[in-house]
Chain A
Amino acid sequence: MAKELDSDYWVRDFVKTEEPKEYNTLNVGPTHPATHGVFQNVMLMDGEFIVSTEQTIGYIHRAFEKIAERRPFYQVTPLTDRLNYCSAPLNNMGWHMTVEKLLGIQTPKRVDYLRIIVMELSRIADHLICNSVIGVDSGALTGFTYIFQNREFIYEIYEEICGSRLTTNMGRIGGFERNFSAKAWEKIRFFLKDYPAKLNEFERLLARNRIFMDRTIDVGAFSAERALAYGFTGPNLRACGVDYDVRVMNPYCSYEDFDFIIPVGQNGDTYDRFMVRQEEMRQSLSIIEQAIAKLDKMEDKETYFAPDPRFVLPPKEKVYNNMEALIWHFKIVMGETDIPPGEVYHCIEAANGELGFYLVSDGGRTASRLHFRRPCFIYYQAYPEMVKGNMLSDAILTMSSMNVIAGELDA
């Protein structure tokens, strides 16, 4: 026989109010298909309208900041994969650049351009997931099913570059682990040729679609002033009309050599966030094209890491035949590289905002403190204010358009 329920079990979900109506609470999450991640919202509902929301996060907290204090620097890269797992290479590159900033390593231009190609590819992959999921949540599954082939293709490019797909652990401190293969170049060039038409087709499905526009325009709108107070960055801030982009404000990795525009929205609503991401994908494609053109002009086709042996594993033939190479190999793998004491803050424009690394080193083999500025941890706080008074179905759309990634939220 089933366990007897507490007598007020069914009553407790209803909250009596002074007004002649009742509010009821609704659990959205932690494992709900509409949240696209493991986080919970307990919503106080007045019929279909949201009165207030309380968020619970931390379901996949893995204590990365603590673990990072016990690991040599190169072993932190796989942790950064698991922050925003939709665009892992961006996080990897951000971390490598942070350590390079601490060590004072100057990367060659070719390495920078290769990195930019990878970073923009992963920005496209991330925006593509977010935008197609906005479509799914507004009832348009078609775009999602088609455009995911292109995301799959980007993952195949990652596979050619580093061997893995989702959690890439791509690159090394100082550059890459190997040069891009001919197959990788072939795939990147094919992607550049093939993707714009697909992207336009995807946009035609949604952007001027009456149903989609009615579902997204003025839904979850947020003013620029509130967005700045809540620490919004990335496409969400730009949709509110603030043209803040780390790539332009504090150029890193030779972004100053590239010519691109920062798309901005006006109302900060779901539609604007969608359109900003669409345009950013086009800009990313243009950046990749420029990078390839610059690389083609270079005579050097072989450099893929900085001329600094402290973190780049020597080639295997040398390790077997050369004592110094063997020593370096051993030192790197055991994490015995000398690190200067110091503190750096480095930020990159990740797919959903400013991803920052605050790294404090006391000269030991590991970081003495590493803090990740995770963009969605900071801007997800604004969610209750954004959905207050909206309908539940709009709140779901607002959440998916904010691109909240549980892995990054919980670190």
Chain B
Amino acid sequence: MLCINVKKEEIQNIFQFLRDDNELQFNFLTTLCGMHYPEKEQLGVVYHLHSFVNNHRIRVKTTTEIDSPTIPTLTTIWPSANWMEREAFEFFGIQFEGHPNLVRILNVDDFAGFPMRKDFPLEDQTREDKDDGMFGR
């Protein structure tokens, strides 16, 4: 699948172009998901687009610094981005600028931390009744 990296400032223009261009016609936002790159200290978003007209699929990637993770929203282009961006916000703490209702969606509102970041422990680290060392966990 074709994969393109895009600067986050240009993301809205690029997607508007991809959707509205007469030849490309990427009319369908298949999915978007957050990413965490701990070694680069970056967060990112991966978008999958699908053109029903040409039956092409592409992947678009963008990154943002982890200290001030902001990415422009896509809700103005596709309403379906709403919950997917809320999910990415909840899991990774990516601030989608211009999102109408950027609050947690799956976890409770007062949940602390962003659970899908790599440094977030899967289990309570104070547990002593379990030794998974030999399984590489």
Contacts and interface: CB of A to CB of B under 8 A. Distances in A.
Interface of A: 57-58, 61, 63, 65-67, 69-70, 228-231, 242, 244, 249-250, 334, 345, 347, 354, 356, 358, 360, 365, 369, 371, 373, 377-382, 410-411
Contacts of A411: 106
B116 A66 contact: yes
Contacts of B82: 381
B91 interface: yes
Contacts of B99: none
Main secondary structure of the interface of A (DSSP, over half): mixed
B68 interface: no
Interface residues of B, number: 32
Contact of B107 (A61, A249, A345, A371): A61
B43 interface: no
Given A345-B48, A345-B59, A228 B106 contact: no
A377 B137 contact: no
A369 B35 contact: yes
Contact of B28 (A57, A228, A358, A369): A228
Given A70-B122, A358-B48, A378-B84, 6 more contacts: A67-B122, A228-B28, A228-B52, A358-B31, A358-B33, A381-B83
B133 interface: no
Contact of A231 (B1, B78, B105): B78
Which 3 A-B pairs have CB atoms at the shortest separation, nearest pair first? Answer: A231-B80, A58-B106, A371-B33
B115 A377 contact: no
B27 interface: yes
A373 B30 contact: yes
B31 A242 contact: no
B71 interface: no
B106 A61 contact: yes
